[in-house]
Amino acid sequence: MRYKYIFGPVPSRRLGVSLGIDLVMSKTCNLNCVYCECGKTDKLYNERKEYVNAEEVLNEVKDFLDKKPYLDYITFSGSGEPTLNSKLGYLIDEIKKITDTKIAILTNGTLFYNDKLIEEVKNADVIVPSLDAVSEEIFYKINRPNKELKIEKIINGLVNLRKNYKGKINLEIFIIDKLNDTKEELDKFKDVILKINPDKVQLNSLDRPPVESWVKPVEIDKLNEIIKYWGLDNVEVIKKYKVRRAIKSYSENLESEILNMLAKRPCTIKDLEFITCLKAVEINKYLDVLEKEKKIESYIGERGIFIRLKS
């Protein structure tokens, strides 16, 4: 069976060996984050609906699980925002009926003002919502949202999620130099973190080339300084894999396939998605390794960010 909606398993920094489920087509999102690794959001969606057929998704998951693979998590993530799919809750419940594997949701966290969504996700084991800004101005600069979204409403939604959801919440904050790491924003962040009360806060910074080339990675020392400044005991830096090969789901075949493509010509992430039928999120895991091993490099070309073999 050739899968359209599930991908991986991918070696995930946060979740170990994770089978991905993409509930929207590339790229359906209500944000257009400057650091997005899946490319620009051409149209901002904010309506919850069945963007892809839930029964087809479920059939793929069943087919995959029949092979008894090793998995740490089944994760809703992919080429856009999974909570936009109105069948998310149905799928969580149906998957729970057929496997004991834990379920995670990687989400931009913008839609929890919707009580129905909070009810739908109640059986997920872990929710990883992002929150990159706590003031409206910074929210617009970093996340460039659909106009219906307001940061106060989003924060209240996350507070409400915490009150009503019994699983783990790991709040992810993507730090961008001189934007959300100012003293003023960090002070507001601390108040909001205390209000939301997540199990963990995970600080992240740039790993792969972003949509906007002016977004630069923040050094790990800077992230550690932020942790010290806040003085909260549940904040950590997301660990980067140094050797992803050591992870069970790393596929040497996929790596060769990507390297063969790049040997022919430089490609964008979209080119690689098209040629390999993999999702951007999956391709990026391999590019991380290859970049760290100095086998490939990125540059800005006419159609955006290209990846080529390093000479």
- Kindly tell me the burial class for residue 241, based on how many C-beta atoms sit within 10 Å of its own C-beta (0-12, 13-18, 19 or more): middle
Q: By rule CB under 6 A, what string of x and - marks binding of each residue 121-160 to ligand SF4? A: ----------------------------------------
Residue 81 sits in the site that holds ligand SF4 (CB under 6 A): yes
- What's at 156, amino acid-wise? N
Binding mask 34-53 for ligand SF4 (x = CB under 6 A): --x-x--x------------
The residue behind tokens 């209000």 is 195
130 DSSP 8-state letter: B
- 20 in contact with ligand SF4 (CB under 6 A): no
31 binds ligand SF4 (CB under 6 A): yes
Q: Tell me how far, at minimum, the Cβ of 260 lies from ligand SF4, in Å.
A: 28
Pick the piece of the chain touching ligand SF4 (CB under 6 A) from 29-37, 93-101, 234-242, 255-263.
29-37
For residues 11 and 80, which CB has a smaller minimum distance to ligand SF4 in the complex? 80
Other CB atoms within 10 A of residue 300 CB: 10
What are the distances in angstroms from CA 208 to CA 33, 45, 162, 298, 306? 14, 25, 31, 9, 11
Structure tokens at 283: 């391709």
CA 299 and chain centroid, separation: 23
* Residue 29 in the binding site for ligand SF4 (CB under 6 A): yes
* Least gap, CB of 12 to ligand SF4 (angstroms): 15
Cβ 27 to ligand SF4 shortest distance, Å = 6
